[in-house]
Structures are given as C-alpha cells and as structure tokens.
Structure 1
Amino acid sequence: MEQHLGSITRDLIHHAMSYQEYRFLIDQLLAENKTTGHNHSEAYLDYTRMNVQRMNRWDKTAKVSPLLKETVEAIQENQIWLVITEAWCGDAAQNIPYLVKLAEFNPKVQIKFILRDEHPEVMDEYLTNGTRSIPKVVGMTADLSCELFTWGPRPASAHELVLEYKRDSKGMSYKEFSETLHLWYARNKNQELEAELLPLITNTLVS
C-alpha cells in the first residue's frame, strides 16, 4: 500500500512542480494575461506581476545565516518540503525564494510546489485559524511516513499586522495596508522567517 500523509500521496508529490517549473508556469500564464487559480482580474494580474519582481529580487539578495546553512547541511535523511501556494499571493512571493535557497544547501532536501486551488483536499488539512491561508510549507520524510514540520502562512509579526488590520482597518485601504505589509518584509530581510525555521529544521535532524 502506498505511503501517504492524509491527502499528500506519492502521486501528488510526483506531479508537484519544481521551483523552476513554478516560475515558468507563472511567466507562461502572464503572457496569456492569466494567473493561477480562477480569478484572472486585472488586480490579480497586477499582484502576480509584482510578485515576479519580488521573487526575482529575493532570488538575488536573500541571505542565509551560517547557522541555518549548517543546520540544513546537517540533514542526513531525505526530506520533501511541499509548498502550497498561488502566483498572486504576496506572502508567498516574499517567503518562497528564501525556502528555495535553504533547500539548495542539501541535495537530500527536495522542495516541491502545488497550487492551493487545484488541491483543496490538501489545503484543508493545513488551515490557519480555519482559513486557506498561503503559503503553507509541509516538511515530511521522503517516504511520506512522517510529517516533520509545518510553517506558514507568514512570520508571526507579519501575521499580527494582518490580524490587526482585519480587526480594525483604521480607515486604511487594502492597497495601503498591502504596502505596509510588504515594507515590513523589505525591512525584516527574512530574519524572522529564519528565526522560525531554525528550530523546526533543527528538530528534524537525526541525533
């Protein structure tokens, strides 16, 4: 019988995208004035175009501390990091390139991507306060016998900004709030993301 973690099966992992395939898909869809998911409005296209710029920037500038680099390099058992995402998601664009950089430090780590709206059965197993918030990262053993960690949809301080805005927008438009959130990401430079991932990855190491 096939090993699986809930709705995460070997077949799903086999058909999941690499980072290069994910980025190619986004470029291909934008060339057709589309994005991932079902909403191809101009607003969602603009979000997606901006996210391509964000990922391009982080691909070049994201820095990983020596400690986290050494921690990832110390992974001895094969792992899969499955990222649930969509091209229009700003939080995904801010966090995914850093995750990709981490995975590149160790060939035993395979990072794969699936689209939330194409896999609701997976997404619904990893809700955040009852919502389908993305990105969501699920770390697991390569044989799918054990879930190692989950993370997402955003670092805690950024998440608190979102919750505060939802509780009371103080008259701020969503566009204005989005600019505030992405300014937080630019200033934080993945430091809080790293601080949250370090203990998660450390706990996966075989002693």
Structure 2
Amino acid sequence: MESVIENIIEKSLENSYSYAEYRNLVANLAKKGASTGPEQNEALAQYTQLNNSRMKRWDKTLKFSDEAIAKIKSVDHKIKWVVLTESWCGDASPALPVISKIAELNTNISLSIILRDENLEVMNRFLTNGSMSIPKLIAMDTDEDTIVATWGPRSMKATQLVEEYRAKYGLLTPELKQDLQVFYNKDKGQSVLDDILKLLPLK
C-alpha cells in the first residue's frame, strides 16, 4: 500500500513548485485579485493577498537559533518534503517560510510544493481527522523510498489554541482566525520549527 502512495506522490511532483516558484505564483495571483484552486471569489482573493504579504514579511524576518541551524545541518541523508497547500490558506503563510528555510540550510532536504485541489488523490491519503486540512507536509526518506513522517496543518501549540477555542465555543469563528494570526506573529515561526525538528533524523 505504501508503495502505491509513494507512486501517487511521485506522479504529483510532475506539476510541483519550488518555494521560489510558489512565491511567484502567489504574488502574481495577489496582483490579479485571484487565487489558486478551481473556486474563485473575492474572499479567497483577499486571503491570497494577505498571505502574500505575510510570507513576504516572514521571508525577510525569520530567524533560527544557532542550535537549530546546527541540528538542521546535521541531517546526513536525503529527505524529500512534499507540501500540499493553496494560496488562500491562512495556516500555510507562517509555516511555508519556516519549511523552506530549513530546506535551504541543508542540501540533503529537498522541498516540493503541490496544490491540494490539483492533487486530491494525494490529499485524500493524508487527511487530518477526516478533513483535507492544509498545509500538509509529507516527509520521505529518499534512500529508503519510504514515508517517514507527516506534519500539519498547524503546529502543536497552534492546534492546542484551536482545540481550546472549539471546546469553549463549539465552533471555529472569524475571531479565531484573527487570534491565530496574533499567535503566529508572536510565535515568529518557532513552534513550527520545533515541531519539524522532531521529524528530522537528527544525530
């Protein structure tokens, strides 16, 4: 079964993006007032514009500690990361810059980005509580050709915030989205970094 999933993922990479290519895609869509995906409306276009601004800021300001950098650079065999996302996804805008920066620090880690709605066969293999939640990172060991881990759609700390909100109010509201963005701005990518460091084969 796992080899079937790996073959599906490999096929999806024929239409994948590097991080730089994805950033260009989102920036161009933001200028045009559009978004990725088959559905086009004003709300998704506005989310795309917001995410483009947020990623631009994260790309410039994101910082890792010397300890984190040393851990990332210690990975000594090939890891392939595939991330499912869409331009309008609010949880992707703080996560993708962190994931990209990690991959930039070690040539053993490759990153490919694919769009969820163009790759539903992949997405449906990696649901979160039955939902097509994004971003979703799939980590593969290139040498062994196996899936070794997944991550997403949020860091453990952000997920805890969402679950506490759901327990208190029974549903997720626009106010929660605002609270999440406040959390992401204060967190500065650290919770995503902490989570993903645990997925790496560190010495």
Q: TM-score, normalised by structure 2?
A: 0.89
CA distance in 2, matches of 1:69, 1:4: 34
Structure 1 position 190, deviation (Å): 1.7
CA distance in 1, matches of 2:174, 2:167: 17
2:183 equivalent in structure 1: 184
1:35 equivalent in structure 2: 35
CA distance in 2, matches of 1:165, 1:194: 23
Q: Flag the 1:173–1:95 CA change in 2: closer, same or farther, 3 A.
A: closer
1:196 equivalent in structure 2: 195
SS of equivalent residue, structure 2 residue 76: coil
Structure 1 position 186, deviation (Å): 0.8
> Are the equivalent residues in 1 in contact too, given 2:30–2:52 (CA < 8 A)?
no
Structure 1 position 51, deviation (Å): 0.3
The amino acid that maps onto 1:197 is I
The amino acid that maps onto 1:156 is M
Q: Flag the 1:119–1:161 CA change in 2: closer, same or farther, 3 A.
A: same
Structure 1 position 139, deviation (Å): 1.0
Residue deviations 1:1-51, cap 9 Å, x none? xx6644544332243110111112222333333201122211111111000
CA distance in 2, matches of 1:161, 1:16: 32
Matched, 1:142 2:142: yes
- Counting aligned pairs with the same residue, the percent is 37
SS of equivalent residue, structure 1 residue 158: helix
CA distance in 2, matches of 1:183, 1:190: 12
> Are the equivalent residues in 1 in contact too, given 2:84–2:134 (CA < 8 A)?
yes
Residue deviations 1:91-117, cap 9 Å, x none? 000111011111000112111100011
Residue deviations 1:70-125, cap 9 Å, x none? 12211221211111100000100011101111100011211110001111110111
CA distance in 2, matches of 1:126, 1:189: 27
Long gaps (5+) in structure 2 = none
1:157 equivalent in structure 2: 157
| Deviating 4+ runs (over 6 angstroms) | none
CA distance in 1, matches of 2:63, 2:136: 21
Structure 1 position 143, deviation (Å): 5.5
CA distance in 2, matches of 1:36, 1:56: 18
> Are the equivalent residues in 2 in contact too, given 1:4–1:144 (CA < 8 A)?
no
SS of equivalent residue, structure 1 residue 112: strand
1:79 equivalent in structure 2: 79
Long gaps (5+) in structure 1 = none
Higher alpha-carbon deviation: 83-92 or 72-81: 72-81
Aligned-pair Cα RMSD in Å: 2.2
The amino acid that maps onto 2:57 is R
2:51 equivalent in structure 1: 51
Q: TM-score, normalised by structure 1?
A: 0.87
> Are the equivalent residues in 1 in contact too, given 2:137–2:150 (CA < 8 A)?
yes
